[in-house]
Amino acid sequence: MFPSPKSYLPALAALLILLTIASCVFVQERYAYLPPGPYRGVLELEYNPIIPNPKGEPLPEKVDLEFDDVTEGVLPFTFDVVYEDDTTFHMVIHNGAEEIIVPAEDIEAGRDQSIGRDTIRINFPVYDTHISAYHEENVIEGVWVVHYRSDYRIPFKAYFGKGFRFTTMRKEPVTDVSGTWAVEFAGGMDEDSYPGIAEFTQQGNELTGTFRTETGDYRYLEGTVQGNKLYLSVFDGSHAFLFEAVIREDGSLSGSFRSGRHYITDWTARRDDQAELTSPDELTKLREDIPLAFAFPTPEGDTVDLEDIDGPKLVQLFGTWCPNCRDETNFLKAYLAKNDVKDLQVVALAFEQYGADDDRSKQAVRRYRENMEVDWPILLAASNDKREAGQALPMLDRVISYPTLLFVDRENRVRRIHTGFNGPATSKYAEFEESFDASIKELIAGDPAAGPDQ
C-alpha cells in the first residue's frame, strides 16, 4: 500500500526550509566590497569627444598618421582583488613578471550616503597618486589622479572577471619579434629625438619586454601581437605607458608611444642584436676634479653637510615620484643587507615635483622613507627640474636623469658617476650588479687606481 500524497507535505516543507536557509547563508557570505578575483582595468589616455560628422568624412586629425591608433588611447592592465578576511583586502597589479602589491592600508572602501553608491580609493602614496572610483556589481568607474600635475585626471574603469589585457583574439602573428631592436623615438616640441633599445620576448600571441634608453628603462611591459600589430602597456601607480606598432613588410616596426595624457611620440625600430647605447658611466661628468660638496636639509629641517659624513659614500640623486629610482633604492637596500660594506655611507638627494621648500615635498620624502624602509639620510636638494638640479650640484656638467648615482671616496672625490638605472626588467641588470660590486670594493679599499670612470 502506497502512502498518500499528503504524507509528503511535512518532508517537502522541511526541504523548503533547508533550501531557504542555505540561500540565506549564501547571500550572507557575499563580500562586503569588491568581488575577489581578476579584473581588467583601463585608463582612457585620449580625449574622445563626440564630433558631428554627418557625411562620414575622414577627420583631419585622423589623416596621414604614421601609425593608425587602433586602441584609441586606451591603456589596459590587469589586477587581482585578494581578501585577507571578510572585510580586508589588498590588490595585486600585474605587469609581465612584475607583481605590485597595493596593501590593505592603502585602500579605502565605503559608501557615499549622499548618492547611495559604494566607493573605493586606491592610494599610491610613494608616487603621490591615487584612483578614486565608484563600484557597482562587477564594474568600477572613476579617475586616476596625479597630485603633482595641475588638474591631471585620467578616466579609469575596471571589469570583474576579465583576466585578459588587450584582447582575447588570437590572430596569427606575421612574425616573432623576440630579440633586440635598435629604436629611435621622435621626441616632441621641446625634446630632440633619442635612441633606445627594445628587448622583446614573444610566445605565440603573448608579448613581454621593455625599452632601454640612456636615462633608464620603461618598466615591465606586457601585451600582445595580433597579425601585423603589436601592443604593450604598463601601469604601476606612477607610469602609464602605452606602446603600439605595426610590423612593416620589411620587418621593421613603426608605432606610437604614450605616457599618460601629457606625452605622445612616434617610434621606429629595426632588428639589431649588436645595438648599444652610450655607457651610463659616460653621460654625466665633473666640470673639474674637485671634491664634492653640498649641504641640504632633511624634511625635519636639520641641515646635513657632506663634509661631516666620514667614510666612502654613495650619493643618490633621485625623486620619490620615480619608479626607476625605487628600483635602484631596492637594489641598494638588498646589496647593503647582504654585504659587509665596512664604513660605507649612503646619502640620498631628493629632487621633488614641488620644490625643496614645499611642505608637500617634505611629506613625500617622509612617506618614501617609511614605505621603502630607508635608513640612510634623505635630503631635500631642489625641484625635479634638471636645470635646478644642475645649480644645486654645480660641480656636475649636467643632470640628465633620475636616478644618478655618485661613487665618492673618503676625500669626497667622485670616482664614478652612473646615470640612469637599468632595472630588473632589462638584460643589463646583472651587468650593473657586477660593476657596482667592483666599484664598492674599490671605494672601501681606498684603491688609488680607482680614478673617475669618465
Query: Is CATH 2.60.40.10 the right assignment for the domain spanning 179-271?
Result: no
CA pair distance 432, 62, nearest whole angstrom: 43
Q: What pTM did the predictor assign?
A: 0.84
CA pair distance 439, 283, nearest whole angstrom: 17
pLDDT at position 386: 87
CATH class, domain 37-47+63-160, is mainly beta
pLDDT at position 113: 86
Low-confidence ranges of the chain (pLDDT < 70): 1-30, 47-71, 447-454
pLDDT at position 449: 42
The CATH topology of domain 295-445 is: Glutaredoxin (3.40.30)
pLDDT at position 150: 87
Q: Which of 197, 98, 207 is nearest to 428 (CA)?
A: 197
pLDDT at position 4: 52
pLDDT in tens, 206-225: 999 999 999 899 999 999 99
**Domain extents for the chain?**
37-47+63-160, 179-271, 295-445
pLDDT at position 7: 53
CA pair distance 405, 416, nearest whole angstrom: 8
3-state helix, strand, coil in the chain (%, to 5): 20, 40, 45
pLDDT at position 71: 63
- Whether 179-271 shares its CATH topology with 295-445 is answered no
Alpha-helical segments (H) within 186-253:
none
Q: Is the bond preceding residue 403 a cis peptide, omega within 30 degrees? A: yes
